[in-house]
Amino acid sequence: MARDREAKFFYGYIIVASAFLILVLTVGINTTFGVFLPALLDEFGWARAIASGAFSLTYALTGLIGVIAGKMNDRYGPRIIITVCGVLLGLGYLLMSQANTLWHLYLFYGVIVGIGMSVSQTPLPSTIARWFVKRRGMMTGIAVTGIGVGILIMPPVISWLISNYGWRNSYMVVGITVLILIVLTAQFLRRDPSQIGQLPYGKNELEEEGDLQNAGFSLKEAVRKRQFWLFTVAVFLVALSVASVMVHIVIHAIGLEISTANAVITLAVIGGTSIAGRVIMGVTSDRIGIKRALIICFTLMSAAFFWVLIAGELWMLHLFAVIFGFSHSGIHALVSPTVAELFGLRSHGVIFGCVMLGLTLGMAIGPVLTGYIFDVTSDYQLAFLIYAIVNFAGLIFVLCLKPVR
């Protein structure tokens, strides 16, 4: 009886739970840069564009090294990679508690945290894709809700820490927490079911029992396909606006004479609704298809930025946060399943890493562009208009996606 119960337990659920917790800590904490930003600007007097550049550098390195991390994940699996991630992230945040100059910000946050982030986002969804044939969208969605949970709980927690203990001690607490929890959780990760004698979930229900782990395109073959570039550019366009909101929405709300506490709640609303977006759109993609789910998300993203152009009150800003949080999180949850559907699992990690490079480059450019626009125009209206247009352009690219032959 004990053996039967053990045989029925699918270890893929441990993979999903581990990925969830790691994403709460990595991405959730990273998006609190906008909460730290007012304190940093007050103490050092930096321009918004210059300070935002450190956050942008983080995402640039996340994308560039994420390609290498994806390739390593295809070969070695995520356990070693994520362990290194935890050490680097913890170190970067601990060093931030001692930052005194602009180059400290760029080195400690931009470089060290950026390298640490690069080995967390790509390997985790790629690993889940190897564990699940059926319910791939749902399980990826559940795992990446960790990002939404992180965005929901981390801004209020960090804001409270900064208010009571200062930003330096807050970074110290963050660094110790990240270092311990991520390194421990990483030890539960495995590359694919064959390492523990199991099959991917749903494989035994397929009509063809091929070797799913080795089926599909190589990176060289994938980049020759029009669909690769259509999807990568679409992801890049949506990412321009995502990081900009995470960095600037709190300080934008304060500029509208909204209290700091309510401004931080706006960021938490984004996190809360993004939880629903990742799960609902992951499940929806399994039922109506990934392309239709992406169309819904891109349409909502564009509409959100047209709305925020006229949002001058707290309830209007919170409505923007709801639509934005739901739609951008849905897109993020669908990136890995889309790559698996278009190009298979043979080189999923490195192909996914290249697509994520487009995403992270967009997130690197967006905050600096937004900060520069504010420094020149003294408001965010032009930036919001640009992001409404580019998200609509991303929708056009998604509409052009067709199955790869």
Q: Give the CATH number for residue 344.
A: 1.20.1250.20
For residue 201, being part of any structural domain is answered with: no
- Of 257, 270, 247, give the one whose Cα is nearest residue 371: 247
User: If you average pLDDT over residues 164-169, what whole number do you get?
Assistant: 93
Kindly state the DSSP code that residue 208 receives in the 8-state scheme: S
* 172: pLDDT strictly greater than 60: yes
Residues 343-347 have a mean pLDDT of: 80
Residue 381 pLDDT greater than 50, yes or no? yes
Q: Residue 255 pLDDT > 60, yes or no?
A: yes
**pLDDT of amino acid 175:** 94
Tell me: pLDDT of 238 over 70.
yes
| Per-chain mean pLDDT for the chain | 86
Domain assignment present for residue 308? The answer is yes
Q: Per the structure block, which two tokens stand in for 296? A: 């819904």
Q: State the pLDDT confidence band at 389, using cuts at 50, 70 and 90.
A: very high
Is residue 202 assigned to a domain?
no
Give the number of domains in the chain: 1
How does DSSP classify residue 1?
-
| CA–CA dist 74, 287 (Å, integer) | 28
pLDDT at residue 341, as a whole number: 86
The yes-or-no verdict on residue 72 having pLDDT over 70 is yes
Residue 200 lies in a domain: no
So what's the pLDDT on residue 214?
57
Could you give the percent of the chain with pLDDT greater than 90?
Answer: 36
Residue 206, in any domain of the structure: no
Average pLDDT, integer, range 238-260 = 87
The encoded tokens of residue 195 equal: 């390492």
Closest CA to 219 of 401, 346, 64, 45: 346
Helices (H), 224-347: 226-255, 260-288, 290-308, 314-343
pLDDT for 319: 94
From residue 405, give the alpha-carbon distance in Å to each of 216, 348, 351: 10, 16, 16
Q: Is residue 122 part of a domain?
A: yes
Which of 1-10, 272-281, 295-304 has the least mean pLDDT?
Answer: 1-10
Confidence (pLDDT) at 20: 93
Reported as a single tens digit per residue, the pLDDT across 217-231 is: 788 888 889 999 999
Given a cut of 80, is residue 186 above it in pLDDT? Answer: yes
In this model, does residue 208 exceed pLDDT 80?
Answer: no
In a domain, 40, yes or no: yes
**Does some domain include residue 102?**
yes
Give me the pLDDT at residue 215, please. Answer: 65
Domain hosting 160: range is 9-192+214-399
Q: Of the ranges 68-72, 79-83, 190-194, 269-273, which is most confident? A: 79-83
Neighbour-count burial of 187, counting CB atoms closer than 10 A to its CB (0-12 exposed, 13-18 middle, 19+ buried)? exposed
* pLDDT attached to residue 228: 93
Q: What is the pLDDT of residue 196?
A: 81
Tell me the per-residue pLDDT of 22-66, one tens digit each, with 9 for 90 and over: 999 988 888 788 889 888 888 888 887 788 888 878 877 877 887
Q: Is the pLDDT of residue 204 over 70?
A: no
17 contacts: CB under 8 Å, gap ≥ 6? none
As a whole number of angstroms, the distance between CA 123 and CA 82 comes to 8
